Structure 1
Amino acid sequence: MNGLTSTPPVFWRDSELPHIELRQVSDGRTVCYAPHSHTQWSMGAITGGESTFEYVGRQYHVSEGSLVFMNPEWVHACNPVDNQPWAYLMLYVDASWLASLRFRLGYLDAPVWQDIHCDVSTSADLYTGFQALADCLLNNGVSAEKKEHDVEAFLSEVMVSISEAAEQAEKPFPPAPESLRELARYLDVHCTDELSVEWMAERAGLSPSHLVRVFRKYFGMTPHAYQINRRVQLGQRAIRQGAPIADAALAAGFFDQPHFQKVFKRLVAATPGQYSRPPKRHSDRV
């Protein structure tokens, strides 16, 4: 991209904290995402520069100090502004684990996931807390027990802070019709199958053009893009479980590894090799 080079992203994971993943990008000028979604709830902090944030049809201009929040399966993308430097942190949290935490905090009647309707915050306290948590997680001198404690304490603070705004926020879209939800459930399970839009349209009882239009309305992407997004998520899961990249590509339904790498980078804004590489940790603080 215009001859720019950047420091590779850092991904932090720990088998003792399987419900948490951290991403750190120090120069995001070459980090460009296609619209995508995650199975986890996620939050990001812009730690330098500025970027765009597109989320379920809404567009924001965010800069250093901004926090963004993304529900599982909600389509979004963050990208640089005119090749200007920007840096960020991303925290990915298992939705079931977070639902259990919200239940214990009294924000849910049952430990079952409910979407949080809060997009952006400029809370200085949460921003500072996020940076401190990232330092803790990346520090190999800190025990897993301490990291677990800090994760729960910080996310409890986040849930308390954004709950009032979430209750007042406008919901982005109505529930999809059952025929589309059924098709989406089928794609969740059969995302590695070769399925034509004509076949999907027949299953949903719609014409191909109408299916593409209404599916995008309710899910934020076309049926084909939804299926590819699911495939990349399968590849990510395989890599997190230690599979070689070639095996992860096969698990995700890509029989051509270069194609897997190309699609993976477009949606994850990192190569499979970068995603699988353990971070360089520091131990200057405990």
Structure 2
Amino acid sequence: MTVTVHRLRLRPAHRYPRHAHEAWSFGLVGSGSVRLRSAGTWCLVSDGLATVLHPGEAHDGVVDAGTGLVYVTASVPQEWVSRTFGSTRTPAFPGVLHAARPVGSLVAAASEPVAEERRERLVTAVTGLFADADARTTAGMRRQSEWHLGAAAKRMFDARFPAPLGVQAAADRLGVAPATLIRSFRRRYGLPPYGYVVSRRVDLARQLLDSGVPPAEAAERAGFYDQAHLNRHFVRVVGVTPGAYRRD
């Protein structure tokens, strides 16, 4: 899947002509404001707010004359959204204005430098954005079935550990949509599948470091791409770098 992210700075009083995007378009305002019109209704989008535009949704607008506008846009193809939720139906968002945090998570995921991690974070971010749609498309699924699905997915990830197994591949093997797998796993274990795998890799790296294995070798044996990849997650989880941990 290709998620396209653009960071833009527009001059004060810039006017958007009436237009539409083929893909889902998510916008996150960093500073300034813009008056946006969609479906005949005007809304003011300012710092800390996000916008969601459906594929083909016509809109126009004008940037604030005093402040200009700095914002980030992320485009997500409809085909990938349908595949993620196991449905060809197009979900619907009420209105254009939305909370900034879920869109910010999508932008951050698309900027992830490690390919494997970027794919998993994008699935998780899009699942969060479309939570309501996911609930509609999976409304008939019993919570007990989800509980068992989460356990089945965990067994699958554990069997491959520390080798990677993507959410899409796991979902295909279990015959469910990726969004369903992520939700079931999170409900049972409290974190998404990739977060679980990374936490196990950090634990394994700690054990290897405790046994005297050098950080670079520990990174490889724990399933990280390189020592920099290990360092980033190790600091986030443990609070110090692998080198400092080993010295202590």
Q: Please, what TM-score do these two structures have when normalized by structure 1?
A: 0.42
Q: Which has the larger radius of gyration?
A: 2
Structure richer in strand, relative to its length: 2
Structure richer in helix, relative to its length: 2
> Which protein has greater RCO, CA pairs closer than 8 Å, 6+ apart?
1
Q: Please, what TM-score do these two structures have when normalized by structure 2?
A: 0.48
